[in-house]
Amino acid sequence: MNQRIAQPIRILLCDDHVVVRAGLLALLDSAADIEVVGEAGTGEEAIALAAKLEPDVVLMDLQLGEGMDGVAATRRLTADQEAGRSPHVLVLTTYDTDADITRAIEAGATGYLLKAERPEELFAAIHAAAQGRTALSAPVANRVMANMRKPRPTLTDRERDILAQLAHGLGNREIAKALFISEATVKTHLGRIYDKLGVDTRAGAVAVAKEQRLLP
């Protein structure tokens, strides 16, 4: 009786640094059950190649220079995941801030790995991601668990209102008009929101607010 030969895991690399992609390609070529089917230097290119090559897993960097970042590309790539038509995205990056991790997971990433990991950890994460299982670097997993154990920050009603407007993409002037307050007041509230959530950007505030279910 003939045994069925397992197909290799098809990988698409997305990183804006050519040297990094070359190193990953050389490393992954050493694994018999992993096949790199394409390389992309931008998020836009990754989306186009994924539609054409149909990889099982996209190894995605977060910072991609000009154009969309890795989070936006991940969101686009995983849009049809529930219908089984999208690749799994495994983030591979040097960034491990709470905001980056939260944004990537919210965007649909199956796993989050740091570039400092050992090769065997990367191989294991790729196999997990190909099966739709969560794969996290130990430091990332520790941060996620620590954040889950943190008491939720207490926000005022006004701060929640402003967060809700942020989540809809409004700028300070638009928020001021919508809530009938001054732009200076909006900036003051934003500063307090950032301090309470431990972030320093609007995107970070929205990501943490979603993670901790602080939005209405």
Choose between 103 and 44: higher pLDDT: 44
Distance (Å, whole) CA 146 – CA 139? 10
What would the pLDDT profile of 166-211 be if each residue is shown by its tens digit?
999 999 999 999 999 999 999 999 999 999 888 888 988 888 888 7
Nearest C-alpha neighbor of 77 from the set 102, 98, 56, 100: 56
Bridge partners of residue 112, in order along the sequence: 91, 136
pLDDT above 60: residue 59: yes
* Mean local confidence (pLDDT), 122-141: 92
Do 23 and 49 meet the contact criterion of CB atoms below 8 Å apart?
no
Going by pLDDT thresholds of 50, 70 and 90, the confidence category of residue 80 is low
Question: Mean of the per-residue pLDDT values for the chain?
Answer: 88
Specify the range with the lowest mean pLDDT, choosing from 124-128, 152-156, 159-163.
152-156
What would the pLDDT profile of 82-93 be if each residue is shown by its tens digit?
545 689 999 999
At residue 109, the pLDDT reads 94
Do 155 and 196 meet the contact criterion of CB atoms below 8 Å apart?
yes
Nearest C-alpha neighbor of 98 from the set 197, 216, 213: 197
Going by pLDDT thresholds of 50, 70 and 90, the confidence category of residue 81 is low
Nearest C-alpha neighbor of 130 from the set 193, 86, 92, 80: 86
At residue 4, the pLDDT reads 47
pLDDT above 70: residue 96: yes
Distance (Å, whole) CA 168 – CA 178? 12
Q: What does pTM read for this prediction?
A: 0.69
* Mean local confidence (pLDDT), 23-40: 94
